[in-house]
Amino acid sequence: MRHSALRNPHFAFTMSRLTIAAPADFSLESTVVSHGWYVMPPFRWDAERGVLHRIESFEGVGAIEISIRFDSGKLVVESKRNIAPLREELRTRIRRMLQLDLQLGEFHALCGKRKSHRAVVEAKFGRLLCGSTLFEDAVKIVATTNTVWAQTVRMVTLLVEACGEPSASGGRAFPIPAQVAAFGESELRERCRMGYRAPYVRALAEGIVSGELDLAEIANGALSTEELFKSYRRLPGIGPYGSAHLLAMDGRHDRIAVDTEFRAHVRRRHLRGAEASDNEMLALYERWGRWKYMGYWSELWFDLRRKVESGGTKRK
């Protein structure tokens, strides 16, 4: 028995493990599938086992494959590589990815008062899956503009394949700014199919590398929501929609990212198909106070979930 176990590759190594305490109102599944990031590399979601896979790059170490699962109130992070020297950095990145520091008590209390939103509390929904860096989230948001979802996924996939650092299995981490800046604009445009977004993505990367853009200063939590919104607006390729979404990924839901999806949702759910101005639509969410965006997003998310369960549509 012992010899057969040694021959089995699943027993040929010892997994390196890190555990992170999670809030009582945390759900890994609800956080992972909260929006489309989970279908883009370097994420890979195993829904059947409830495991989130990802490749992370560390300076001087390289790209490391990790898996994240939820067990008995704790996140269990595992890797075939030794992650002990990276524990604190990895812990910081995962806290950002899964918004573990976001307090949802007030939002869930608001949901509990509305019959239409009680399922939100039951699902422990309210956190958004993020990249491990603001740079990753900004690039992915630029890739969502003026295109269909399938093309967004393709752009990000090609960018990771072209620029990201490879892991032992051949998968790649999301590229750091220097790796993107080293790529020519024409290569980003043609090889990664980024089109008009290529100069914005390269300008963002070059600005960080040169020091003209300090994303660490933007993301340190010291700015007011209004100041943070303005800071995001100054990033190449990020407009009002992208800035509002980045705010939500920073745990600030004061603003709603208005786009065609928002308008269609409001007409369908609240206006019985009638037309209304953007301001009239936004006014419907004033009762959510500083949770406006998540009030809207949870409606959209659960409407999609009901359609998926009834066979009416396919999940993105």
Per-residue pLDDT averaged across 155-168, rounded?
97
Statement: residue 312 has pLDDT above 50: no
Categorize the per-residue pLDDT at 220 as very low, low, confident or very high, splitting at 50, 70 and 90.
confident
Q: Of the candidates 131, 257, 151, which has an alpha carbon nearest to the alpha carbon of residue 197?
A: 151
Task: Give the pTM.
Answer: 0.90
In the prediction, which pLDDT does 127 show? 98
What per-residue confidence (pLDDT) applies to 6? 35
The CA-atom distances, in angstroms, between 209 and each of 170, 177, 187, 205, 213 are 26, 6, 19, 6, 8
With a cut of 90, say whether residue 285 has pLDDT above it. yes
Burial of 61: CB neighbours in 10 Å, binned 0-12, 13-18, 19+: middle
Distance between CA atoms of residues 140 and 178, nearest Å: 17
pLDDT at 7 over 60: no
Residue listed under structure tokens 């699902």: 123
Residue ranges per structural domain of the chain: 2-101, 134-223, 260-310
Q: Residue 1 pLDDT more than 70?
A: no
pLDDT, average across residues 6-25: 72
Query: Would the CATH topology of 2-101 be identical to that of 134-223?
Result: no
Is residue 30's pLDDT more than 50? yes
User: What are residue 16's DSSP bridge partners?
Assistant: 79
Distances (CA, A) of 274 to 116, 256, 271, 278, 301: 21, 20, 5, 13, 22
* Mean local confidence (pLDDT), 165-172: 95
pLDDT per position as a tens digit, 77-97: 999 999 999 999 999 999 999
Q: What percent of the chain has pLDDT over 70?
A: 92
Spell out the long-range contacts of 51-54 with Cβ–Cβ below 8 A and sequence spacing 24 or more: 52/28, 54/97, 54/132
Q: What is the pLDDT of residue 10?
A: 42
Q: Average of pLDDT values for 10-31?
A: 85
Q: Output the CATH code of domain 134-223.
A: 1.10.340.30
- Taking the CA atoms of 93, 97, 100 and 101 in sequence, report the sign of the dihedral they define: positive
Between the two ends of the chain, the Cα-to-Cα distance in Å is: 45
Backbone angles phi, psi at 55, to 5 degrees: -115, 125
The topology (CATH level 3) of 2-101 is: TATA-Binding Protein (3.30.310)
Nearest to residue 25, comparing CAs of 83, 133, 102, 132?
A: 102
> Which range has the worst mean pLDDT, 158-167, 214-223, 253-262?
214-223
Q: Which pLDDT does position 84 carry in this prediction?
A: 94
